[in-house]
Amino acid sequence: MPPPPPSAMRPPAALVDHAALPVRLLVTDCPSDATLLDDYLPLLRSHRVSVLVRLCDPTAYNPAPLLAVGVRVVDSLSFEDGTVPPDAVVSGFRDLLDEVSAATAAAAATAAGDATGDDPRATVALHCVSGIGRAPVLAVVALVDAGLDALDAVELVRSVRRGALNRRQLEWATGRAPGGGLRPRKARAWRPKWGAVGGGGGGSSRASTASTATATSAASTSTPQKPSLLGLFKKR
């Protein structure tokens, strides 16, 4: 029996969500021109994705079909595979989430009279090549900025994206990398508008996974025990 195609061996798309996040984050692997229209575009539409961050080679596929339906494609935040994001990338990613969050809040306020009960937050999609390194590590950045403890943030991302973050990325995200790691925001342009983390910003979270045909999502609650860094390494 021939081996399955590479896409069949990759994890499904993962929706990283928490009440304190200003946006939802959809982590995927990289599509191709062959899968863009039939598979990837419907996935983005099902999650109401407004912005797509490409963290790998922008020549992997033509983004024209996405642009044609109003999906903004961001290529300015890419960095080397297997590494941690430079300060400029982290800063740019934070600015992007601030921008998307502010625009969404303004649109929600304008449409307040037509509320349907749906989550008003936008969804930002991120992909690298396989969707287990660069994209998840930026999802951890967003969760930490939202007030989660770094270990809780990693655990939440890994609960929906199995195998996410290599050792170097894990050490960086949790502040244990030689020479330093992820730096907290000095000044936050946004505050959580859609919920709050208990315990004043260092709260803990539990990810509950809901599988669908196209994506896996995580929701937050409390955990009785914080994961250990050694335990996270063993999950790789």
204: closest CA among 233, 180, 179, 224?
224
Asked if 211 and 141 touch (Cβ cutoff 8 Å), the reply is: no
**128 tagged catalytic:** yes
Choosing from 29, 128, 145, 152, the catalytic residue is: 128
Choosing from 39, 81, 95, 119, the catalytic residue is: 81
**39 tagged catalytic:** no
Catalytic residue positions?
81, 128
